[in-house]
Amino acid sequence: MSEIPGTASGVMWQSSPPGSIYDYIKVASFSIGPDGLVDQWSRRAAELFGITSEQVRGKDPIEVFLPAELRTRGRRKVAEILDGKEWTGLVPFRVPGAPDGARAAGERGRTAHGLAEIYVMPSEAEDGRQAALCIVVDVRALRRIESDLAASQAIFGQSPFGFLLFGTDLTVQRANRRFATVFGGEAEDHRGRTVHDYLQRPEAERLDAALRHVLATGESVTDLQISGTVAGSSERRHWSVNLYRVHGGSGRPVGVAGLGTDVTRRQIAAREAANARRNLALLNEAGARIGNSLDLETTARELLDVAVPGFCDLASVDLYQGLLTGDEAPPGQFGSAHSESYGGGTAELRRVAFASAVSDAPLVATPDCVENGASPAAVGEVHRYPFNSPCADALRTATVRSLPGAEGSLVQSALAVPMVAHDTVVGLVQFARAKGSEPFGERDRALAVELASRAAVCIDNARLYRREHERALILQRSLLPPGDPEAAGLDIACRYLPGTTTTEVGGDWFDVIELPGHRTALVVGDVMGRGLRAAVAMGELRTAVRTLALLDLEPAEVLSALDEIARGLGGPGTPSQVRRSGPAGGSAPRGTQQADLAEVYLATCVYAVYDPVTRRCTFANAGHLPPVLVEPGEEALLLDVPPGMPLGVGGEPFEEVEVELPEGSLLALYTDGLVESRDHPLDEGLQAFRAALGDPGRPLEDVCDHVLSTLDTRHGEDDIALLMARIQGLPAESVGDWRLPREPRSVGRARELARTQLTAWDLDALVDTVELLVSELVTNALRYGEGEIRLRLLRDRTLVCEVWDAGLVQPRRRRARDTDEGGRGLQLVGLLSSGWGSRRTPRGKTVWFELGLPEEGGGTAEPTVDQLLSMF
């Protein structure tokens, strides 16, 4: 307010600072002299009434301000005031220069009649007469201020949000009722406090820094997240705080206003939503990562890879020892929900996996789960849980148990979760959270059960697979030749490597079969497909090969018969019998031709017959990889054997090829697992195999080991079978071979030749028996055979006698009656020999018998003639 000349009291009015309250309420002043005329007129009065001091000074205020209808009343009041009476009231006034009823110029909607609240104070002039000092306030400004104050009070006091006004010293100047309700006391009690009186140090410092920033820069802060506790509660609350700088009328900062909204529920909801998303993502990850392996330990580690640190800080998995060892225990032995205790505790468990994001120390949630004096179980260790421990209770009841953290342990809380699959507990998983992490809640318990359940099903499937795999492997191994096979004229070594436990058992097999005449059949085969059925099919085919080998069929005939048998393994609707017309004769039955190949087991096989006398080997192949031959001083080569079709396809004949094998050469038969895997193609594997056979002179067992160590045999994708034979033909001095004319005296000549040869071999103990049996066979050849007679004696591990002729009729053993003069020849052969038989040859037949060599001390392995006569 500008300076006003002194009144009767001599008071000088000084101008107010900008932005003072007077700017808002528009206070003006003027004075009336003893004569009732205006003698002082302030600048604010000029602004309020729109009249300059020159226009009003020395004039009657009634004439200047009041409308005509109010002037009489106004003059009475002025007279009373000049008589010394104070007066306060509302006085309408007319804006000079505007006609009655008109609107004030420059303001839309403002009438020419104003309303002022005037406070008149009597005063004295210099001459002692009565005067008056008038203080004028625009009523409209007062009403506006009242409305603003009322609105401000309503917003500030009735707001559901906490409100604080900080001064420039960042102390609380004003707090609303809502804030006081949350933090206690009355609103006035909070005046002068700071943020450190409400929040712990870290949060208080964050809010203090934000207040200083807003006060210094004027930049507002929105949605500042602050957490703390409130009066009378330990529950942690969360607020969203908005800060903005407050200015006075002149625009200078007077403080910072803060509005706080309780967002605890929103935070909880957001946290629960985030947890739900995390749990869903965790379950999705568990579905993708757990159970990719059929190995028990690997599955347990996959569970912990998912759980740590996504769900917990530490975790361990214990599985029942009986489950891991494959024991066929009765229900409950290793995990019924109601299993009994063993020796005062649980059955033995093995810790198969442990994971930690905070420490490598073994997981110990509570001392109750560790036997007295025992250390926590390490991975691979077998242990028991005490009977009264929470872990044992979880295993017995198949119920989740909460475990408190042990004293001095970094574990804050833990869950013991039984792993239940098909109503059977297979083990226990413990999830633990370290101190400082959020404790497990109900949702966490449910998630823990789901994770453990998924892993349990996978572990149980792995257990069942392991059991079936081991059974199939036992079956498969039982069908392989026991020990080290032996054969005349061959040094043999073999290897068999099953696939890993993560792959199903295969149908690979090999066999070494002794044939008459010191010949040997070498067989390697592979049933396509995997699993127990493939192993069973392999066993059937191997048995069939052995049966057909006893018939002394040619290799191609053996494979033709196997082909029909293989077509019969696919299902009951496919014939499996060998045709009566002969295994190699005729076409396949109609049912076989129409069989769906999807229902037929296919197999590859190579069948070779080696004759040590001639060192010739006859091969027949059914879709198998070709044999490898290494001649002395030469590189290994693949034999050019016609590949043929796999067994089970049918409709195609098999071919034979005969190869003479040099003395000391090396023959290798194998399955595709040795030379093929995902990491390298077949051609590379064959080349590597041939290179590994570059030094065949070393001992045969060493050659096998070198091949397996050189090639990639650890892939575990398929079984591997390797059969190697070094050629060692019968020496000429071990063979007696004679041709006899078709005449009666050849019988005596045959006995003489046999006796002489046996004497040369120091086999005198067998002379009588051999003379008798040779006489019988040569006599039969003369009576029932055709063409020239051939006698051959072979000495190796046993003595073999063969009589050849050109007749096709096979000898048949019959029982002679007491009155018969003949018919007992083959009975004698059968009684005196360890074995006998006949086989077809390209030019007739061969009848043979076999005798064991004399034992140490001069005895014989077979009955003597005298012993035989005593039987009769």
Confidence at residue 108, expressed as pLDDT on a 0 to 100 scale: 42
* pTM for the full predicted model: 0.54
Amino acid occupying residue 852: G
| Residue 287 CB coordination number (10 Å) | 11
The structure tokens listed for 852 are 């064991």
- Half-sphere exposure (Cβ direction) of 319: Cα atoms closer than 13 Å: 28
Amino acid occupying residue 347: A
Confidence at residue 21, expressed as pLDDT on a 0 to 100 scale: 61
For the cut 50, the answer to whether the pLDDT of residue 383 exceeds it is yes
Q: Could you give the CA distance from residue 795 to residue 848 in angstroms, rounded to a whole number? A: 13
Q: Helix axis angle, 555-567 relative to 532-550, nearest 10°? A: 140
Does residue 805 or residue 346 have the better pLDDT?
Answer: 805
pLDDT 10s digits, 137-193: 877 777 777 766 666 666 666 677 888 889 889 999 888 888 888 888 888 888 899
**493: three-class secondary structure by DSSP:** strand
Q: Could you give the CA distance from residue 579 to residue 571 in angstroms, rounded to a whole number? A: 18
* 368 DSSP β-pair partners: none
Q: Could you give the CA distance from residue 131 to residue 463 in angstroms, rounded to a whole number? A: 115
Amino acid occupying residue 107: E
Q: Which residues contact 629 (CB under 8 A, 6 or more apart)?
A: 636, 637, 639, 659, 661, 665, 666, 667, 668
Q: Which residues contact 151 (CB under 8 A, 6 or more apart)?
A: none
| Closest C-alpha to 824, from 775, 788, 870, 751 | 775
Confidence at residue 12, expressed as pLDDT on a 0 to 100 scale: 38
Amino acid occupying residue 223: D
Does residue 205 or residue 325 have the better pLDDT?
Answer: 205
For the chain, report the end-to-end CA distance as a whole number of angstroms. Answer: 159
Look-up of token digits 């260790």: 381
Q: Mean pLDDT over all residues of the chain? A: 79
For the cut 70, the answer to whether the pLDDT of residue 460 exceeds it is yes
Q: Could you give the CA distance from residue 659 to residue 154 in angstroms, rounded to a whole number? A: 113
pLDDT 10s digits, 30-43: 888 888 888 888 88
Does residue 154 or residue 271 have the better pLDDT?
Answer: 271
pLDDT 10s digits, 683-735: 888 999 999 987 767 888 999 889 988 887 776 567 888 999 999 888 889 99
Instruction: Return the H-helix or E-strand segment holding 76.
Output: helix 71-82
| Closest C-alpha to 425, from 489, 332, 340 | 332
pLDDT 10s digits, 572-619: 444 433 333 333 334 444 444 444 444 457 899 999 999 999 999 999
| Closest C-alpha to 353, from 290, 304, 403, 312 | 304
- In this structure, of 206-210, 269-273, 343-347, 705-709, the range with the lowest mean pLDDT score is 343-347
Confidence at residue 3, expressed as pLDDT on a 0 to 100 scale: 37
| Closest C-alpha to 383, from 408, 363, 409 | 363
Look-up of token digits 């071990």: 734
- In this structure, of 468-472, 742-746, 793-797, 813-817, the range with the lowest mean pLDDT score is 813-817
Cα-trace Rg, the chain: 57
Which stretches within 290-389 are classed as H helix? 296-307, 321-325
| Residue 361 CB coordination number (10 Å) | 13
Q: Which residues contact 7 (CB under 8 A, 6 or more apart)?
A: 31, 40, 123, 131, 133
Instruction: Specify whether the backbone of 150 is left (phi greater than 0), alpha (psi in -120 to 50) or beta.
Output: alpha
The structure tokens listed for 470 are 């081991």
Does residue 745 or residue 717 have the better pLDDT?
Answer: 745
Look-up of token digits 């046999």: 754
Q: What is the mean pLDDT of residues 663-684?
A: 87
| Residue 309: cis peptide before it, omega within 30 degrees of 0 | yes
In angstroms, how far is CA 672 from the centroid of its own chain?
31
pLDDT 10s digits, 605-655: 999 999 999 999 999 999 999 999 999 888 899 999 999 999 988 778 899
Q: What is the mean pLDDT of residues 426-451?
A: 89
pLDDT 10s digits, 55-110: 888 888 888 777 788 888 888 888 888 777 888 888 776 655 545 444 443 344 44
Confidence at residue 793, expressed as pLDDT on a 0 to 100 scale: 93
Asked if 476 and 707 count as a contact pair (C-beta separation under 8 A), the reply is no
pLDDT 10s digits, 315-329: 999 999 888 877 655
Q: Could you give the CA distance from residue 722 to residue 708 in angstroms, rounded to a whole number? A: 9
Does residue 279 or residue 151 have the better pLDDT?
Answer: 279
In angstroms, how far is CA 853 from the centroid of its own chain?
64
pLDDT 10s digits, 675-687: 887 777 888 889 9
Asked if 392 and 385 count as a contact pair (C-beta separation under 8 A), the reply is yes
